[in-house]
Structure 1
Amino acid sequence: MMKVSVWIILALALVDLAIVVNGDDSEKTVVKTVNGKKVCKRGWECLDWSEYCCNETISDFFQPYQFENLFSKRNTPVAKAVGFWDYQSFILATTSFQHLGFCTTGGKTMQMKELAAFLAHVGCKTSCGYGVATGGPLAWGLCYNREMSPSQSYCDDFYKYTYPCTPGAEYYGRGAIPIFWNYNYGAAGDALKEDLLNHPEYIEQNATLAFQAAIWKWMTSVKKSQPSAHEIFVGKWKPTKNDTLAKRVPGFGATMNVLYGEQVCGQGDIDAMNNFISHYQYYLDLMGLNREDAGPHEYLTCAEQAAFNPATSSPSASS
């Protein structure tokens, strides 16, 4: 399982090296110039030299009370993952990705918007809310940490030479943005250095790992020729002519497209798509941002976008 103690020891060792103070000794920033470019380390959240570590870290603008506000019903008796998800596990998970730009790209408004967008996907995919649920249907994110009634084992023999299914293992949906299928567990395990192919159950046993897998999915391209959801959202993706013809434009809508394709996108104004958008706008509100910050409707929606990965094109187009 995760080497959490090692990270904590390294974080404490770096505290005394800080040279630029930002109020909290645990969040001191160390700055240097490499090839004319400013790079930083910043506290235990941003331990690797990176231009992104020169910005605020997530805990600077996202506090435990905000996590509680966004996911206020996750520990109610009817929730299916009571006691599993918590703020500390989320922040610890982000330390593997903040130096890569996860919610540390751009100014504070962009950082907060990306966090709201990512958590909107999390909240929507793990919600057990419904129309008349107490607190409203958007307050029930992180209700689940696993698929409750799997219809299959999600073993695809197409990948038997790269990510063969382990006898007895079940690759049903688990996590904050659920992972399905042996090849996705295998790829996530390779990236996170965890044996998820043989032990997919680790995802539902460790909240930090579950959040890490979701962030990995947000930060990673499905195919090398395509952008990640992160690149789309922070403006690092420049649509090609084919993207423009397919009506794919940068924004929250295209993050739905690259993650879920035609399950959500290209079908007009459907509930499945609007539910993600509603979560995003709700989280923007709770984080103190204006809904206008989300951009015009064409950036919010993917109603008319052709899928990046049509379901018939490749097995890897699956969730």
Structure 2
Amino acid sequence: MGTAVPAAGCATGAGPMLRSSGGCISRPLTPGRPVDVHRPQRLPLTPLRDDALDERAFIGLIDRLRVAGVDSITALGSTGSYMYLDRAERRRVTQLAVEHAGPVPVMVGIGALRTSVALRYADDAQAAGARALLLAPVTYQALTDAEVYALFETIASAVSVPVVVYDNPGTTHVTFSDDLYASIGGLTNITSIKIPPLPSHGEEAADRVRTIRGVIPGSVTIGISGDASAATGLLAGCDAWYSVIGGTFPAAALSLARAALSGDADDARAQSTRLQPLWDAFARYGSYRVITAAAEHLGLVGPDSLPHPVSGLPAPARAHVAQVVDRLLTHA
């Protein structure tokens, strides 16, 4: 999965080279282990201060994840505000994430409204040492299935690291059919699909996972998103969890994931039930604002750290989130 394929005409004597839309990137692929798409993925915030990247706070979040012993880090996901950042900001976030993650592999979100821009983000991420790319079909005008497929075909054929399909209909307003999963899953370099939350009933969730698995190649993994659905998804057969809380509270996410992936259904469900007040806050206010309020409450990021016009929670909601964090997650 981590082996790069050189572009035509690229010299290979110095080791594996990156292949990109702009041709060869002369620097060899950064050594290190690949992103394990069978393991939980942590999505940290990208905090701002005075409308600029708060590098110190971001480094602190990455250091926190590395010290916790996470398997991988996903920078510039939805929790990481990727669509609010320009190219220079994204490039800097990626550089800092890779630098401070140490041996922990980093996946980077590259979603953009235009294919050509996503290709440039892919170039930047690979050049900085990203071990995988997370791609969502971001929209303003509605996209057809053919247009979504063309986006993934273009990106996947132009890069030399794994690509994860980011199915996030609530944000992108793109709904993936099973046929679209099948066609995109067959593309070169597509290694995982991040799916939306599953039905809460265990057997219905398992049926849905089996259906998806039946149409995609065996080499493509399935990752659950929506933290309230994590235990259900992992117990239903998902391979990984793309975790919002894992980017800020890695211990809590790791504990739940270990229980579910080891087959300890009772423990996994009990841990998820214990976190229900947090899931309720996510449902009421949105996970993006809630996890930001939690990080601000703990001093992990500064106040007013979201990109305007997005603003933080109102005072009563912030107080509620603080109570939940103090009760459930202070040591997580």
- Per the normalisation by structure 1, the TM-score is 0.24
Of structures 1 and 2, the one with the larger relative CO (CA 8 A, separation 6+) is 2
